Structure 1
């Protein structure tokens, strides 16, 4: 089997210990691919060691998450083959629409952040902590990503880098550092899911766009595919082409694609639908098809 590698950078919040988290992610990823292409899924079953997890969360939160209670919900997700009518209603509910409207306002007028619910304010605080790099924690998080990517780039092996949520921001910044500070050569394919990279307040602080620097972008991305589910408020500004299309004009990427219409993340717990969870994205055949196509091309 060709040495193809999938590198996953998770989103915010404490996660299980790396081995357990990796196994749960791998399980849902393979199931999502199986729904799109069963032959590729069979190949993937033999490529477990080529799936890498950039497990940065303990560095940031100093604790692990006990997912024992969530495993039945992950099992249920794997046995669920699409959104229910209720899932679709919940993802498009008036509550989600109002929250999205407020988030759009806050993105342009940050002082309005006090209007957000507590969980959204908490998310904002965590993102600001990342960008402020207190105790050098953000640099250490990116170091974990670069430690995985560097040897793969040097060996010129095919890499699909998947960034979920805040993980997509960490991955982007790591690629910028490897481009402009380490001067590395090579390309990875970049898949962002549930990404906040379209938000203005995120873009202001990305590597190459902050501190009064002239805008510059990573040079290590070949194809960039972005996918967002209906009702996912973290990836509110879905079309990343609108924000990063200059990378195409500068010849830094071959393509930027947004897949953001009619896709539902149907991960549910006893608290209801969660349109943002990584497991729900990975098990979705829309993501599975992207991964399967990449696997066949490389």
Structure 2
């Protein structure tokens, strides 16, 4: 029974909770240690000297996306990006990348009008190809191939459109939460999985109030994510997860996945929004976990 539960994002379909934990736990321990060295307010808290063995568990759900009988991920091409959710999310990533980096050719260049104009009619394969080319050449997705970027789009879309997969992912998180759990750390799409799990968690599963730490979260993205949450937002405000006492939300200012970086406007003023600097790895889960800001949020949750 672990005090810290970590929920990963997309792109881990070939991993397991055990293999992911081998990378996640050292990064998390490092972030907490860095926070202690930087924050004098935590210096006298001896119980934060280390994250103890057995304190961290990864709630792995990536294997739910793994396709049996294949060797790795299919060789997706631009033609495989489906109209609707996948294309819209791709275009929003492209628009945000162009806003943050002048070197990225924006949507609507070459006389095609702004993204808002493109969105009023079906987007053709040429627009999809240009979006993929712009993103995979950008500093945000420079190490990501078209094939993997399309796979990520499909994983996000499938979570919201396949009820059985969605519930299975939430079940993986729920089974890791015990009365001993104090902190839930969730990255990227994992923040959606964690949020929805906490909103439906039975009280007996979380006796103590929890601290939620979301990293690079897309939870605030209207239409594609926020408006599809379960339970549904009411009057523009998302439900506050009942087991959560404190919510820290951290985003790198260059993270194009966290399109809405401040969640207080969506979920209430009790969300403590903050920024981190992940360098060239804007959306990396490891970079987020090693940040002192993340370590401080986790440490505070362990001593609450």
Distance 1:265 1:25 in 2: 16
1:204 is aligned to 227
Unaligned runs of 5+ in 2: 38-42, 73-98, 108-113, 133-145
Distance 1:46 1:184 in 2: 20
Is 1:189 equivalent to 2:211 in the alignment? Answer: yes
1:28 is aligned to 27
- How far is 1:92 from its partner? 5.1
Unaligned runs of 5+ in 1: 67-90, 249-254, 267-272
Q: What pairs with 1:1-298 in structure 2 (closer than 5 Å)?
A: 5-14=3-12, 15-38=14-37, 43=48, 45=50, 47-62=52-67, 93-95=101-103, 98=106, 109=119, 115=127, 117-118=131-132, 122-133=151-162, 136-149=164-177, 151-152=178-179, 157-178=180-201, 186-200=208-222, 201-209=224-232, 216-245=239-268, 255-260=270-275, 263-266=276-279, 273-295=280-302, 297-298=303-304
Distance 2:5 2:157 in 1: 25
Q: Please say if residues 34 and 41 of structure 1, whose CA atoms lie closer than 8 Å, have aligned partners that are also in contact.
A: no
Distance 2:120 2:190 in 1: 22
TM-score by length of 2: 0.67
- How far is 1:198 from its partner? 0.9
Partner SS for 1:191: strand
Q: Please say if residues 18 and 55 of structure 1, whose CA atoms lie closer than 8 Å, have aligned partners that are also in contact.
A: yes
Distance 2:71 2:212 in 1: 27
- How far is 1:29 from its partner? 1.0
- How far is 1:21 from its partner? 1.4
> How well do the aligned residues superpose, as a CA RMSD in angstroms?
3.8
Higher helix share: 1
TM-score by length of 1: 0.68
Residues matched between the structures, number: 243
Task: Note closer, same or farther for the CA distance 1:174–1:113 as it changes in structure 2 (3 Å cut).
Answer: farther
- How far is 1:193 from its partner? 0.2
Q: Please say if residues 278 and 288 of structure 2, whose CA atoms lie closer than 8 Å, have aligned partners that are also in contact.
A: yes
- How far is 1:217 from its partner? 4.3
- How far is 1:292 from its partner? 2.5
Distance 1:46 1:36 in 2: 12
Q: Please say if residues 230 and 264 of structure 1, whose CA atoms lie closer than 8 Å, have aligned partners that are also in contact.
A: yes
